[in-house]
Amino acid sequence: MLSHFIPVHAKAAAMADDPIAIFDTWLREAEAGEPNDPNAVALATADARGRPSVRMVLLKGHDDDGFVFYTNRESRKAGELAENAQAALLFHWKSLRRQVRVEGAVTPVTDAESDAYFASRGRASQIGAWASDQSRPLDDRATFEARYAEVEARFADGGVPRPPHWGGYRVAPETIELWEDRPGRLHHRRVFTRTGGGWDEGLLYP
């Protein structure tokens, strides 16, 4: 029995026109119910030849301008974004049986934004940002641990500044898809496309 299935024509009249506001609500519900990292998101990038790669990152801010994450700007993902400044995000909240897909252009956040977020990180994470050549080959775990100890000693008497090669990126959404599970795999998919003055909305077949 499809007790939770709502026909498209009945749902259309109740559609909201602000996907960011809906995302806010869904994220708050995920923060209340997901057991781990409700802000975890799969980030997909591609190099200049179109070869894709994907990894999990943590969402550290969002608003109407976009979705923000932070990383080493000498990492593989940063190199691919330098070649091809487009990305896709996928949030999957299993306990809520929802997911959100975002696609759009990517730009670096300001130094001030990166400084502010870096200052909010735990000290171990700050030191790790200096010690790690993210995505590059590592000969032995002991090598990394020795570098970590060196950085820890270097900044033992004060705060840890942001490394010049570390900062944030903002994915400016051009499309946002909101997916909700429905019985019988008759899922509900709403897609929003950015326009000059807001968003156009439609539905996708499940």
User: Which parts of the chain register pLDDT below 70?
Assistant: 1-16
Q: What pLDDT does 17 receive?
A: 80
Q: What percent of the chain has pLDDT over 70?
A: 92
Q: Rounded to two decimals, what is the model's pTM? A: 0.88
DSSP H helical segments within the chain, as ranges? 8-12, 19-33, 76-83, 111-120, 123-131, 141-154
pLDDT on residue 16: 55
Bridge pairing between strands 52-58 and 198-204: unpaired
Q: Which CATH architecture is the domain 8-114+165-204 placed in?
A: Roll (2.30)
CA 161 to chain centre: 24
pLDDT on residue 197: 78
Q: Is the dihedral of CA 153, 154, 158, 164 positive or negative?
A: negative
Q: Which of 55, 185, 190, 194 is catalytic?
A: 185
Q: Where are the domains of the chain?
A: 8-114+165-204
CB atoms under 10 Å from CB of 23, counted, come to 18
Cα dihedral 136, 83, 111, 56 sign: negative
32-66 pLDDT, tens digit per residue, is 999 899 999 999 999 999 999 999 999 999 999 99
> Any catalytic annotation for residue 185?
yes
